[in-house]
Amino acid sequence: MKLSVRKRWGFVHVRGGRVLTVSHDHQVSTSTFDRRVDEAIAPTPESSLRLGAKPNQKRTFDAKWVTAKVGDLAVEILAQKTGKLLGYTYLCGDAINVIRYVSEQEPGRVASWFTPGRGLRFSIPLELELEQFITSVMGIKYSGADVACARLETSDEGHMEAALNGLLAAYAYEADGIEATTHMMVSVVVRKQKGLGTVHCQPKKHAQDFAAQPFLHALLLSSPALTDHPFLPLPGLAIEPPPHA
């Protein structure tokens, strides 16, 4: 089944639903992983690697199944017109970017494998002082949500790369004595062009070699279940720069 958040010929038109936490281990077929994305990705810029980004790499599987484990995160995939639940895709753990479709006979049983999570949507003002930008990213990182996503438009590819690197660098700052829970996922596009870059900043408890594919970013941004959240510093949050800063 080919899925798209945009209406496209030959694709099932879908949108995102709720963010969920896996509460029961279950297996997911690796046959649903979209390898075409790996073929299309460009090399990770050196500037991003210096800031801690993982290099883009092709993903292979040793088995026909992976396990979504308790504590992993997932997003519902819903039919755009009817709101019918088609399946789930995962944004961390061994099942990241893999889709589990739901058959007509099993929605209730499968639904018991998840508990509701918390997803946020935020906007990034274009004109911010550096300190305010960093502390506002920290406000997202330590928001207590499971995932927060945004879409940012830039004028050219140079500004797109700078925006992605700025987000990576800011997310690397730490707050003393607090554990971050929030995945920050931002899509950066070039106006009137097809250029697209994404950054998926992962909290330490979910850190891994792979990041969410663009489809997962688009799915989250299309979800009406996400809560709008201000891009502002958290009051009283003391932050420390990362070791490489």
pLDDT tens profile 103-122 = 877 767 888 999 999 999 99
pLDDT at 244: 57
235 and 133 within one domain:
yes
Indicate the number of domains in the chain. Answer: 2
- Structure tokens that stand for 79 in this block: 């039919």
pLDDT at 36: 84
DSSP string, 117-177: --EEE----S---HHHHHHHHHHHHTSS-SEEEEEEEESSHHHHHHHHHHHHHHHT-EETT
pLDDT at 220: 98
110 and 14 within one domain:
yes
39 and 124 within one domain:
no
108 and 167 within one domain:
no
Residue 245 lies in a domain: no
End-to-end CA distance of the chain: 45
236 and 141 within one domain:
yes
156 and 74 within one domain:
no
Neighbours of 69 (CB within 10 A): 15
Q: Which domain holds residue 76?
A: 3-116
163 and 86 within one domain:
no
CA–CA separation, 19 vs 140, rounded Å? Answer: 16
Residue 63 lies in a domain: yes
- Which parts of the chain register pLDDT below 70? 40, 42, 107, 243-245
Alpha helix (H) residue ranges in 24-129 = 36-40, 46-50, 107-111
